[in-house]
Structure 1
Amino acid sequence: MLREVLSTELYTILLVICLTLVAITKLLAPKRFQYFLMLLINFRYLKVYVREHKFFDFFESLLFTNLSIGLAIFSLLCLNLSNNYPIDNPLISSKLALGIGILILTKIMLERIVSSVLNIDSIIDNYIFQKTSYKNFIGILLIPINAILIYSWLPNQLNLAIFLALLIIINVAGILLFIKNNLKTIKKNWFYFILYLCTLEISPYLVLYKLYTLQ
């Protein structure tokens, strides 16, 4: 059985934009980008560049934009599977990418506010950097994943679930690694850190899952 032929023009443009963003990132900081690509097997990137972490970082901003677009494409493919969503609408994809970007940035701002209130800024600043780095790495992985789902494999519940599980595992691995490497510091503020995790890491995903299941 041949896969259904869908209009891929919009997705080709979006994937080209993602590749361009990644190429610019590599061009501007080749050494840093090389360390970044080895994030899962070598933690040198986290150790070296956490000291240079700033509120606005052009390197991270380019990768974050790629992440937002990649998540928008993947989300549309998932929505189309269950709700027959119009996945080739440029306006919808643009709004979704913008919404995802705003949502993540808003969450980071709330995390910084909460960390200040709980007086655990030193822990959370490093945590946000490491978590953002892993999310941006997921954005790189989404380029080939989305390309496979658009041009090769027909998206279905099985392959979407496998790819989604892979992305979640990488994200959780980043959190667990941070806890492992900063266990001594976290122990001194364990109650506040657990409160922080429950409030800003676990609760939002439970709410999103509840909203999805209510559809």
Structure 2
Amino acid sequence: MRNYITNEWFTLFTIFSLFTIVAAKYVNSIRFNDFIAVIGNSKYLKLYTRDQKFIDQFDSLLFINLVLSSSIFIFFSYNTFITPVSFELIPFLKLLFAVSTIIIVKTLIERLVGSLFEIDGLIDSYLFQKTTFKNYSGILFFVANLFLLYSNKYSEIIIYVSISLICLINLIGFITSFKNHQKTINLNFFYFLLYLCALEIGPYVLLYKVIREYNT
């Protein structure tokens, strides 16, 4: 059942993901420790939001892990719930490209919206919080992949538990952002709903279509 999973490419990608996580800790070990404790602790968000940069080395390393680990997780999920397929490098690289492109383009559009409506400070703060919880999800994807790659049992349970935890983490992030900007949202609730549909739900629908077309 798992001969198509035990592929050296997955091991190489997983090792590279681990390298990016270790590199992030090496770049700023104090920040990394605060980052790991971000769930239930607002210290990281309060401390590092004001120091964020357009291209941040720490977040960039964790972003690479997010793209790699989430793509591997998507591959396992596809094989488990839709149809088993043999690993091929080119289609997988296309999946990597699709995941990274959606995240990057979505972020750039959100920054553009912030500039157009002259709310750069608000958008930057919001994006930093979202990026933090997405990168945190990348750590969970990485851990889940280790179980999926090197264990032949309970794949469905591992995937379900991982998805549940990741949804919970991002829900916590969304609630945190909502609370921090509640007054602004209440004054512009209609635009907030448009934002959710266009920039929060839409990209994931697009990603789902990419996944459905993965083996074509």
TM-score normalised by length of structure 1: 0.87
Separation in structure 2 between the aligned mates of residue 178 and residue 163 of structure 1, nearest angstrom: 23
- Sort the Cα spacing of 1:20 and 1:27 in 2 relative to 1 into closer, same or farther, 3 A: same
**Counterpart contact for 2:66–2:134, Cα < 8 Å:** yes
Deviation of the 1:11 alpha carbon:
1.5
Change (3 A) 1:161 1:189: same
* Paired residues of 2:133 and 2:169 also in contact (CA < 8 A): yes
Give the conservation status (yes or no) of the 8 Å contact 2:98–2:207: no
Residue of structure 2 in register with 1:56 after alignment: 55
For structure 2, which runs of at least 5 residues remain unmatched after alignment?
A: none
Please name the residue that 2:159 is paired with.
Answer: 160
SS of equivalent residue, structure 2 residue 65: helix
Partner of 1:86: 86
* Aligned 1:12-23 pairs, distance under 5 A: 12-23=11-22
Please list the CA deviations of residues 174-210 of structure 1 after superposition, one character each: whole Å capped at 9, or x if unmatched: 0111101221233333333332222211233345557
Give the corresponding residue for 1:141: 140
Decide whether aligned partners of structure 1 residues 201 and 173 sit closer, same or farther in structure 2, where only a CA change above 3 A counts: same
Residue identity in the other structure for 1:94: L
CA distance in 1, matches of 2:205, 2:172: 19
CA distance in 2, matches of 1:158, 1:213: 22
The gaps in structure 1 that reach 5 residues or longer are none
1:54-101 Cα offsets, whole Å, 9 max, x none, are: 1110111010001000011001111222122223x2333333222211
Whether contact under 8 Å (2:106, 2:203) holds in the other structure is no
Q: In 1, Cα distance between the equivalents of 2:159 and 2:108?
A: 30
Letter in 1 for 2:58: F
Secondary structure (helix, strand or coil) at the match of 1:83 reads coil
Structure with bigger RCO (C-alpha 8 Å, 6+ apart): 2
Alignment: residue pair count? 212
Asked if structure 1 preserves the Cα contact closer than 8 Å seen for 2:2 and 2:152, the reply is no
Please state if 1:195 is matched with 2:194: yes
**Equivalent pairs: percent with the same residue?**
36
Cα gap change, 1:29 to 1:102, in 2 (>3 Å): same
1:106 aligned onto 2:118: no
Counterpart-to-counterpart distance in 2, 1:208 and 1:99: 7
Describe the superposition over 1:112-155 as per-residue Cα deviations: whole angstroms up to 9, x where unpaired: 22233344333221111100110001111111110001111446
**CA RMSD between the two structures:** 2.4
Q: Taking structure 1 as reference, are residues 147 and 69 closer, same or farther at Cα in structure 2, changes over 3 Å only?
A: same
Contact 1:120 1:189 in 2 (8 A): no
Question: Which whole-Å CA distance do the structure 2 matches of 1:211 and 1:66 have between them?
Answer: 20
Q: For residues 7 and 210 of structure 1, what CA distance do their matches in structure 2 show?
A: 26
Instruction: Please tell me whether the aligned partners of residues 114 and 196 of structure 1 are also in contact (alpha carbons under 8 angstroms).
Output: no
